[in-house]
Amino acid sequence: MRKYDMRHEERGVALLIALLALLLISAVGLGMVYMSNTETSINANYKDTQTAFFAMRAGLEEMRDRMRSDATFPIAVPTTMPGTPNSVLYILNPSGGADVVDPRAFGTTYFDDEFCHESFGPGSPVAYAPPGAPCTATGALPLNNVTTTASVSPYTNTASSLKYKWARITLKQNGTFPNALVDPTQTGVNLASQVCWNSATNQEVVASALGYPNCAAAQAAGLYVEPVYLVTTMAITPQGSRRIGQYESAAYNITPPPGALALDGPAAVFNPTPSSSQYFANGNNSGDPANAAIYTPFTGPGGQASCASTLPAQTPAISTGDNAGASGITTNLTGPPNRTANYTGTGPTPSIVNEGSTGGNQFTGIWSSPAALNNMVSVLANGADTTYSCGIGAPCNGSGPYGTDAAPQVTYVNGDFNFGNASGAGVLVVTGTLNITGNSSFDGLMLIVGQGSLSESGGGNGQFNGSIFLAKTNSSTAPYTQLATLGTPQIAWNGAGTNGIQFNSCWANIGNTMHYLVVASREEMY
């Protein structure tokens, strides 16, 4: 009888299973290699697009930074709409001598094919192309419309330069983006009118709706508006990733308060007052060219000798929100000793004037309410160069100088602050009590908004050029909530000396162009 050996069959099945397992493992391995390569490619592409994105942002920020009056390399921002000479400015950022960047050159890698999709009305220098339609040769800007300047970013004009190629700035006109008009419910809106930023209401407005041909005319009439600028940047990497981004940017308009020392709100307190016969508050504008012969030599922001002031030649030495404050301060200055002669400016001496609105006890415009003033403080805090976080009743000790004449800065203090025997220049914002000494000095705009309290101690010869403004917008106890209406501002001057406050429109206006807000931002699709 023949025996059947099952082991041969089992070995065959095992071999087959082993081969199938090896085949499966090989397939999985090949799949993993493929997926790994795919993932590597995706990661590389993502990294490249991110490089382009952040390079685009770098271009936007370089332009926004150089718009500032106190920038290291400031630009001259356009003052007229595209279609006129020098109305379009480009910052160019090539990556070497062979890398020619000319945004005007149609058909080249770096051609500005976004400009033709922006409408500037009948005066537009290029043929408008609707969304989705490509630019043509008629979309190239005329040479006399364009001004260019070199980038000052690190490694510009080298192989290591940032990957944005150009940044462009123009003024904004209503209808520049036909599908994104400025609030059409505004009365008197004109599609060809300039767009302005209203600092008091935090919104874009059309100059024609305000009743003016442009933002400059509205400013001259006393409105708190600034032109809105379009900042556009294109970035392209060597691998071909491309991003175009845009800011709408505007300066925060801080029209100087009405006085050398402005005390906004009801029944302002200035007690005790300076006892020195040399102390003064002068509302005669030392920054106005009309007064140049009186106040020479004059050093203004950045070391300039004068500035073109549109403000009156005089303001009050002290302005208050109501008659109660004005009469109370006048009584205190009468003494004894009588120091009323040291307070000169608008009107008779002492120049102490109620600048409050009719029937109210507060100033107008951005100075008119706790909400408007706290909004201004918030905007300045967000753009501050130096910030101190203190407490109410727990003052910080500063370490000046807080800016210089050549390089003014925005200094923001949340809480009480000991200024010390220091100096500063620019804008100083204090939400608590500001403590100064007789030797403290500052050129610029001092905003004591929140608790609205200023305390001085000791003698000295410190000087304040510009304007000092106080307003009580918040309650006196934690959590220091915003008041419905302004409270009483208070100054206690417990010293003497030869110091004083001199109104100067150049310094009081310094905050207007030190920082530009990003009103809106977007990435352009193409």
Residue 14 DSSP SS3:
helix
Closest Cα to residue 281, out of 430, 433, 421, 491?
Answer: 491
Cis peptide leading into residue 336 (ω within 30°): yes
pLDDT of residue 102: 93
Using CA atoms, how far residue 362 sits from 78, 145, 234, 472, in Å, is: 36, 46, 47, 11
Closest Cα to residue 442, out of 412, 390, 405, 492?
Answer: 405
Q: What does the DSSP 8-state code read for residue 209? A: H
For 34, half-sphere exposure in the C-beta direction (CA atoms, 13 angstrom radius) is 6
Q: How far is Cα of residue 236 from the mean position of the Cα atoms in its chain? A: 28
pLDDT of residue 298: 46
Residue 135 DSSP SS3:
coil
Q: What does the DSSP 8-state code read for residue 367? A: G
Taking the chain (526 residues) in runs of 10, the rounded mean pLDDT of each run is 59 77 82 73 80 94 89 90 93 89 91 90 82 85 92 86 94 84 72 85 88 89 88 93 94 86 96 88 82 52 53 89 94 90 94 86 86 90 90 90 88 96 94 94 95 92 93 96 96 84 87 83 83
pLDDT of residue 28: 80
pLDDT of residue 23: 83
pLDDT of residue 10: 67
Q: How far apart are the first and last CA of the chain?
A: 87
Burial annotation 234-249 (CB, 10 A radius, 16+ → b, else e) = bbbbeeebebbbbbbb
User: How many Å apart are CA 319 and CA 346, to the nearest integer?
Assistant: 10
pLDDT of residue 520: 92
Cβ atoms of 193 and 206 within 8 Å: the answer is yes
Closest Cα to residue 310, out of 404, 193, 216?
Answer: 216
pLDDT of residue 170: 96
